[in-house]
Structure 1
């Protein structure tokens, strides 16, 4: 019997009850999302504290992203040698210590340095956590597990700004210190509560006694021969590029240009975030339908919104656009890692790290490219470029095999 990319009825009869590890990882991820959201309200006050401009203090965000990208590239090889729980705990400890150190930094240079190093720890936690989720869940469990995990992250990020605003009113450094403390507790929880999975490795991991190590280039060739893997990487790229980057940076700038105030802009971002949480929490439905079908539907919605966004001016249509983007992002956050888990060796360190590299590249390049195009050619052209990027991912998803067994001889894996 062939196994489908999209959870066949035969697998649906298996238990979908997720392992306790999923709940533990989700609780830690929620704390991480909470701390990430807490920083935003304190950035203007930190700029005043260090006597720097808005552009300079934005290095606290871009430096963090750069640190994530560097670590994700390194983890493509490092995860062969280290167990996932060890990488996860070390990542949390690094992020915890550096967040507190950033909050206590006496000057701006140290603040940016510690924030950037904190990004290294965040990437280690994110990749190891995703790896554990893929290794420890079956295809029948995966949609529900990813739904729980990414809903927890989203809830933390939504609650973060409100809590961060209250804490920053006391001292703009305090959100970083609280964030570090939360991650410190998370590292202890992970070390103690995940003892049962302390020996778990990615599928390309090697023990000291292994005589023949897994060839990285052989694995790269195997992964990129898979149409499903290529599609997932493109989906992650456009998620970082459009659904995260352009949505949170360029779309607010567009709303400002057509006369909307800060309050309305903030409300639109909140609307999108709430829609994202709703879609993520319902992501387990994707397991009953098809990861492939749900991903395609989400991309179609996002493509349509971006194709029209440059021309939108009526508030009801703008609200509908942000709802659509939030729903698309929430669904994809469940289906993309679930599709990755269906790829042979999709739970390898190389595959999981590349998955997050694609997102980080999109999140770094996308907002800048879209913003530059909006400045030079106008909003319609800028958002049409986002639609074009989404179209590339959509086309790739249309070529995902419906069943593993239907791949052509030149396409041995989904």
Structure 2
């Protein structure tokens, strides 16, 4: 949990300055955004390789190696002398990112007691959100020391996270690769399970929503509502506030009442709030609606992770888990591209409506999907 906070905080340090740093090499806006996309694309490409790594080495070594790869690539970015160096180094960081993301999820699935999966997922998700809130605040201040400084600080933060994970899991019988009797399920075994298929499509849309939040939402406040970039940042903070307020209670409650009510309700709230953005030109109302949308995602995020654990519990890694991560990355990559094209051609309203429709579809998917709470691995159970 501590490492998740440090990782997210460090990511938040570089996120505000990365496009500007790329632009400092006298490249186009499109080229600058490619630096961001390259990180996500490399995560997607390398995700299938994480399953055999986890099977052969276990979660802890893969997690530590992933953190150190991102740390080294980020430190190298601080000393990049040209655009192409920055692009390649940032892409290499994506390899390490997917290594520690999938290994952390695999470890949580394997060691979280089934009775408190939702609670564990709620705390874990909240750690990331809190880091994402604090990181940009610190990063904005560090930017005054130069565009390269946040990369150095992020690299140091990742080394700290590496030490935290190594110290916390050193000698732990739960983290021992031999503590499990087998490997996690493969994609062929998982696909026949309806809940797993629902998890995959939810991951795609949830990745889309995340990308929309950090790409189109700030532009909506600046271009449509004619507000400052500071107000756009406040909108992101309002979204994150709604997110983090409900994550831990939702995860805890899902252990008692089941996963489906929160997945259905959260996606429905997200759909309504996203569509409502198109109906107002009032900035205070738009901020309030944005916070409500954050509540929707806050209900879904920890419960979705708990559902993944319900379905895939019983082994280490596996292609079913890496495919789940790939699905979310696909949404992160496709969301800004497709929704951005819709916004360019038809306006922000249709782009938000499209996102709302996708969220509503996911809510309907879970209406017709069986409850997973209490399972010790639906895939393993057949």
TM-score, normalised via structure 2 length:
0.90
Alignment of 1:310 onto 2:278? yes
Q: For each residue in 1:310-334, what CA deviation from the matched residue of structure 2 results, as whole angstroms up to 9, or x when unmatched?
A: 3332234312321122111222110
Deviation at 1:412, TM superposition (A): 9.6
Alignment of 1:199 onto 2:167? no
Q: For each residue in 1:235-269, what CA deviation from the matched residue of structure 2 results, as whole angstroms up to 9, or x when unmatched?
A: 11111112x11122123323333232123222111
User: CA 1:250–1:81 in 2, change beyond 3 Å: closer, same or farther?
Assistant: same
- Deviation larger for 382-391 or 44-53: 44-53
Which of 245, 249, 253 is matched with 1:282 structurally? 249
Deviation at 1:188, TM superposition (A): 2.5
Is the Cα–Cα contact under 8 Å of residues 99 and 114 in structure 1 kept in the other structure? yes
Alignment of 1:223 onto 2:190? yes
Q: For each residue in 1:281-302, what CA deviation from the matched residue of structure 2 results, as whole angstroms up to 9, or x when unmatched?
A: 3232332222111111001101
1:230-249 equivalences in 2 (<5 Å) = 230-242=197-209, 244-249=210-215
1:152-171 equivalences in 2 (<5 Å) = 152-171=127-146
Distance 2:297 2:330 in 1: 17
Is the Cα–Cα contact under 8 Å of residues 343 and 413 in structure 1 kept in the other structure? no
Which of 102, 111, 114 is matched with 1:139 structurally? 114
Partner of 1:58: helix, strand, or coil? helix
Larger Rg: 1
Deviation at 1:174, TM superposition (A): 1.2
TM-score, normalised via structure 1 length:
0.83
Deviation at 1:384, TM superposition (A): 2.2
- Deviation larger for 339-348 or 271-280: 339-348
User: CA 1:221–1:345 in 2, change beyond 3 Å: closer, same or farther?
Assistant: farther
Distance 2:182 2:72 in 1: 28
Is the Cα–Cα contact under 8 Å of residues 215 and 336 in structure 2 kept in the other structure? yes
Is the Cα–Cα contact under 8 Å of residues 64 and 100 in structure 2 kept in the other structure? yes
Deviation at 1:171, TM superposition (A): 2.0
- Deviation larger for 182-191 or 85-94: 182-191
Q: How many residues align?
A: 374
Alignment of 1:59 onto 2:53? no
Deviation at 1:198, TM superposition (A): 4.5
Is the Cα–Cα contact under 8 Å of residues 146 and 334 in structure 1 kept in the other structure? yes
User: CA 1:344–1:281 in 2, change beyond 3 Å: closer, same or farther?
Assistant: closer
Is the Cα–Cα contact under 8 Å of residues 83 and 199 in structure 1 kept in the other structure? yes
Distance 1:265 1:358 in 2: 28
Alignment of 1:257 onto 2:197? no
Is the Cα–Cα contact under 8 Å of residues 252 and 265 in structure 1 kept in the other structure? yes
Alignment of 1:343 onto 2:311? yes
Alignment of 1:397 onto 2:366? yes
Is the Cα–Cα contact under 8 Å of residues 310 and 382 in structure 1 kept in the other structure? no
Distance 2:203 2:179 in 1: 20
Distance 2:337 2:294 in 1: 21
In structure 1, the partner of 2:63 is 88
Distance 1:311 1:249 in 2: 20
Pairwise CA RMSD of aligned residues?
Answer: 2.5
Deviation at 1:201, TM superposition (A): 6.7
Unaligned 5+ residue runs, structure 2?
A: none
Distance 1:402 1:172 in 2: 48
Q: Which has the higher helix share?
A: 2
